[in-house]
Structure 1
Amino acid sequence: MEDFLDACQAAVKGNEPKSLAAKMGVPHVSLLQRANPDNDAHRLTVEHLFGILLHTGDMRPLAVLAAEFGFDLVAKTEPKPEALTKSLINVAKEVADLTIAVHEALGDNHVSTFEKNLIRQEISHVRQSLDVMDASVKAA
């Protein structure tokens, strides 16, 4: 918890506290007091934390919080949009590959561990192609 509170304070102090406080709609002295882990009278709220993350882009508090619970914080990379027809063809191809993998796995009425992994891999490819299609629709 101490590392998390320190990361919150570092995010506030490292990102122009006066400007940050103005964006968040709070007095900068109040923000500094709330971000100070040694000040028992004031604490950051979830709304304050959200404002800090939103307006600074400093994800150290979130990364420390994730690490406290055994997770890694990894930024998501947005897929590059393509022409809608091309992305549609890729989705159809990936769905066809998934269909073939499932059909072949069911051929002997038993789905082995290897076949399960292959099917899951094909599902992942379908998801990725759908993400590209979504980005393509947004860009159109």
Structure 2
Amino acid sequence: MIDQLNTLIKPSLSNEIEAWLAEGNSITYLSTSKTQKEDKSFNNRPIKPAKNEKYQRDVKHRATRPEQQAKWSDVLVLKNWLEAKVGRMEALGKEVNLNPAYLSQIKNSKRKCSKERMAELLEATKRVELTELVVKYCGEKQ
């Protein structure tokens, strides 16, 4: 039935296709996979990056097992350092690119902290102290 329909629409269609193939052309099929639009979303609009990209961190800093977690004594040192002066939590958060609320959760033992992150935080406390000294004695921040 399809052949009859094709002959009704255009009787010499198969002859034209054979001539086209004889010229060196070939029939190809377009792929219907999503590889053509990997970086596009609905209506060919580009995909927007995540909103809070500033505070996103690697998965390596998550402490799921007890041997990966920081020592309680290190957490107490950080807690005492943060409570010593007003504004240190915000300064430390800016230094290590973390949200101050996250630091507050570590300080109040609401969230666990990994050994790597604790080492990073303790190093950053020294840098924050240096900037505090510069501001105290020079009166200006570098």
TM, length-normalised to structure 1: 0.32
Ranked by relative contact order (alpha carbons within 8 Å, sequence separation 6 or more), the top structure is 1
Higher helix share: 1
TM, length-normalised to structure 2: 0.32
Please tell me whether Structure 1 or Structure 2 has the larger radius of gyration of its CA atoms.
2
